[in-house]
Amino acid sequence: MDLQINWPVPVLDALAAAGFEADQRLQRALSFAPSGYISDAQLFHSLYLQNSLVTRYLEIPPHGFDHLKVRATRTIDPSSVRAGPFLQKTLTRAMVLAGKRRSLGVQDYYRAVIGYADEFGDEFMKRPGSLDLLMHAVGNDATKPLSTAPAVREILRALERSANACEDYQYLMAWSGDVIVFRPTSVLGDYVHAARQAARPNRALLTHFRDNFGGFSVDEVAELEQLVNARTTENDFQRFFEAHPHFLRFRDHREVYSHVVLAPHNQRGELVPDFLLTDRELQRAAIVELKLPGAKLVRRQTNRERFGTAIVEARAQLMRYRDWFRDTANRKMLAKLVGMEIYEPDLVVIIGRASEFRDELDRQRLRSDNPDIEVVTYDDIVRYASRRRLIIAGE
């Protein structure tokens, strides 16, 4: 597998262009970059600070990383972080090792580091900075050959055994509102918290992105169905989609922004769409408005069928949003937030139930009268999520 990566772009963008998404720990490590740039050694250290896999095998004295000023005073947006030259090479090797898997994990990164240790361990100028960092941390001269540091070799072999193993997933039962749900987790390790009066044992757990498990779980779909069939408000659906933004990726948009304020440039008042969806790679965007599932979608009269008042009003609202994007100054101002200049976003309203339509042909006829907006029912969202869950589960 030969990857050609456009590395001048931020790390997450480069991974996405190659078909990968960084896992939770890797993204978190990027957010601790001291600036918008992170080296291989700094990434390794950031992972160590997270109590990730390496801490099981490496006990570094308090002064071990003093020479490396990597800890940021605050976290930053990981999507803006760029990689240093050695980290570019290491992450490229990690993607090759990941193969066809869509998620790039910390284990892939460690395997890449180990590969460089085997290939260039004794060549200071060719090996990644993470290996020099390990040499320094255990008390060796970082410029010496790796073969002179058996302690580092032992750490790398232990990492290799764990990196090649499957993740030991476990599950927690938790409350989500008034619904019991299951969350996949991994055990990072045990530690002792020293309080004033007693030492309390604790276990560090990592919860995983839902995207690693197909994006949709049974309890999430059930939660949405419960909302659709209950007496709910638009705010209830707003909170649900904010907590589960992957339900809004039915058109494969990557970024989901809630309640982005379209501040005025040359007009009075503010516009606040429910959601703005973007895909910076493909330069696509969509505005999504939420309405209630009980809204009447179709008005049927003799020899005349058309969308009802609720959709007409939603369309007028969406058109106001679209007109805002036709102002050059507005577009450039928003581009600083979302990372792309949006000219003509698609317009989507999520509303009503699919049972309003007699059949799919009936729906297509009504849609043809309003081609500038897409009408998505809550049943469409539930069916999409259920279908994705079934495909991934292999049922």
State yes or no: pLDDT of 73 exceeds 80. no
pLDDT band at 322 (very low <50, low <70, confident <90, very high): very high
pLDDT band at 211 (very low <50, low <70, confident <90, very high): very low
Nearest to 30 by CA among 60, 75, 88: 75
- Which two three-digit tokens encode residue 87? 């980290």
Nearest to 25 by CA among 254, 193, 240, 204: 204
The C-alpha R_g of the chain, in whole angstroms, comes to 25
The C-alpha atoms of residue 162 and residue 351 are separated, in whole angstroms, by 48
**In this structure, are residues 27 and 115 in contact, taking their beta carbons and an 8 Å threshold?**
no
The C-alpha atoms of residue 50 and residue 26 are separated, in whole angstroms, by 10
Strands (DSSP E) found in the chain: 21-22, 37-38, 82-83, 103-104, 169-176, 179-194, 199-207, 255-258, 275-279, 284-290, 298-301, 304-307, 346-350, 374-376
Nearest to 315 by CA among 340, 295, 337, 332: 295
* Residues pairing with 349 in the sheet: 289, 375
pLDDT digits (tens, 9 = 90+) for 218-230: 778 888 998 999 8
- Which two three-digit tokens encode residue 46? 């950031």
pLDDT at 136: 80
Phi, psi dihedrals of residue 321, rounded to the nearest 5°: -65, -45
**In this structure, are residues 372 and 218 in contact, taking their beta carbons and an 8 Å threshold?**
no
pLDDT digits (tens, 9 = 90+) for 138-181: 778 888 888 888 888 887 877 776 655 444 445 566 666 666 66
Q: Are strands 179-194 and 199-207 parallel, antiparallel or unpaired?
A: antiparallel
**Across 57-66, 255-264, 315-324, which has the greatest mean pLDDT?**
315-324
More confident residue, 365 or 277: 277
Name the average pLDDT for the chain. Answer: 78
State yes or no: pLDDT of 395 exceeds 80. no
Nearest to 43 by CA among 30, 53, 24, 57: 30
